[in-house]
Chain A
Amino acid sequence: MNSPPTINILVPTGALGAGIRAEDVDAGLAAGAHAIACDAGSTDSGPAYLAQARCKYSRAAIKADLSILMRAQARSKLPLLIGSCGTSGCDEALEWTRDIALEIAAEHGLAPRIAVLYSEQPPTQMQRAAQQGTIHPLPPLTTVDPLAFAQCDHIVALMGPEPYVAALEAGADIVLGGRTTDTAVLAAVPLMRGMGEGAAWHAGKIAECGGLCATSPREGGVMVRVASDFFDVVPLRPTNRCTPYTVSAHMLYENSDPFLLTEPGGVLDVSQARYEALDERTVRVTGSRFIRKTYTMKLEGAAASAFQTLMLVGIQDPKPLADLPRFLSRMHQALTARVDETLGAAAGSYDISLRPYGWNAVSGIEEDFVPREIGLLFVATAQTQELATQIAKTCNPLFFHMPLHREAELPSYAFPFSPAEIERGAVYEFRLNHVIEVDEPCALVRTAFIDLREKAHA
């Protein structure tokens, strides 16, 4: 019996820059890949990467992974798709990645045709769209405040697969995308080649974190083979395995709903999906459905707000440790009073947060045990860096010498650094959790081509 046709996507890693092994990529190419695709971004590490337009990984880590993929692309002539370049996928982070790609091409004598997909949106334009009513809030937000858009440092719209498909149809060998849903970059080629929508999107979701859907998550990436009404998933590395359990459990990961996943052009519904072992390492998934809806793009926006200065002190002194709730509350009162009497109104609106690592710094909920040692983190938040630092320096003597009781001898706690204060920079915030309706999938996307083939022949 002939197997039904599949489009096979080699997913070398869950995140460009996290580490790719050339042997795994070679194994995927030998196993009949039709395209190489992976994601390079996320909001997971916080708003700073979008607000500052900086990549979470080092340049060297991105270059090492991208170099392996670009050389594999040049050898195999298969399309290479990378989504959400530079962590946030904003224009500056995308161009940072593009420049690394050009450097790799020059160093290795490669001449690909590169498409660069931009999906950053001007804040004023999004403010207008909010005023015009084409932007809607996602839970838990319930409102659309046009000013919130205007106040963002960067806003990106999450692309679907269509701009990737258009770029490949226009002859791109490599597509570097701005912010894209993790699934779309993997689903693009199967959708372009006419495979099933449910299978393509579900395969994209299962493979988006590379080996995370396998028994050994750190052992390389996976291959998904997408057909019209099923997909198979198998790890690239022969020692690793996918099982019905590891694959189906991946639908839980970082999803608030394990059965429904909203994408730009519809909703993936896996509530009826079946997961069966084809062999020891391969899982076949059937019954995935994609329900088309109005085309929307999710918006992510971040901005800088206040500034912070930190101090850290180690405390082993058993006296304050024996009554930490009282000690911390007394210290907070003393620090605040000292700032108010010295800086007064000049301090502006500020906050002092004391976080005792080793006791309850993570939860903030009072604990009923006595630790042997804590690292007490002092966080001053103020409107400028200078003010945050002035607040920290004002608090320094009390933070250093505060006893449990007023009449006790002055202790000296253990500062690890001199100077004691550390300027942390700005605090960044995510400001948006919205979608924008678009008339067609590429309406908010700009595509630029860099043709190194032409340059090579010129």
Chain B
Amino acid sequence: MPELLDVCRHVRSKNAGPFWITVDLFFKDAGCYARHVDSPALQPEAVARLFGIDPSAVKRFPVPALDVLKLSFPRKVPQGGFLERDMHGGQQYVRLLSVKL
């Protein structure tokens, strides 16, 4: 079973405003996109488990024109509180890299 890192050329995460994180998975090509975009590991339930959030809040946007899957979900606490570890949300994608597809 490949890991996400094997089938994407680039993965990134960032704040989408102070209350949301958005993750963009850029698959290597149309073939990788088609094979893996619907993988159970990239469904709201699995993503929610990984980030400790409510699955109903995870938004999933396949963008076939770009071979991209976008995942957006609320932050557990808004950006910048006293336990903030990643102000810009720029490192949140890393825990996705090793998910098995």
Contacts and interface: CB of A to CB of B under 8 A. Distances in A.
Interface of A: 43-48, 138-141, 245, 248-249, 252-259, 300, 302, 305-306, 308, 351, 353, 355, 361-365, 379, 381, 427-430, 433
A365 B18 CA distance: 22
Contacts of A257: 59, 61, 72
B45 interface: no
A231 to B, nearest CB: 18
A249 B24 CA distance: 10
Given A43-B18, A257-B59, A365-B95, 19 more contacts: A44-B88, A46-B79, A46-B80, A46-B84, A46-B87, A48-B80, A140-B20, A252-B24, A254-B15, A254-B22, A255-B16, A255-B22, A258-B61, A300-B18, A305-B81, A306-B82, A362-B85, A427-B82, A433-B18
B59 A256 contact: yes
B32 interface: no
Nearest to A365: B95
Contacts of A45: 87-88
Contacts of A258: 61, 63, 68, 70
B78 A430 contact: yes
A381 B57 contact: no
A254 B14 contact: yes
A26 B83 CA distance: 46
Interface of B: 14-20, 22, 24, 57, 59, 61, 63, 65-66, 68, 70, 72, 74, 78-88, 91, 94-95
Contacts of A433: 17-19, 78
Contact of B91 (A44, A249, A254, A362): A362
A256 B85 contact: no
A361 B74 CA distance: 21
A259 B59 CA distance: 13
B85 A47 contact: no
A429 B78 contact: yes
Contacts of B15: 43-44, 254
- Most chain A beta-carbon contacts within 10 A, residue among B20, B24, B68: B20
User: Which of B17, B66, B86 has the most chain A CB within a 10 Å cutoff?
Assistant: B17
11 contacts: A48-B80, A248-B66, A256-B72, A362-B94, A363-B85, A363-B94, A365-B95, A379-B82, A427-B80, A428-B80, A430-B80
A305 B81 CA distance: 9
Contact of A256 (B22, B78, B86): B22
A141 B49 CA distance: 21
Contacts of A361: 85
A253 B94 CA distance: 17
Nearest to B65: A248
Contact of B20 (A249, A256, A355): A256
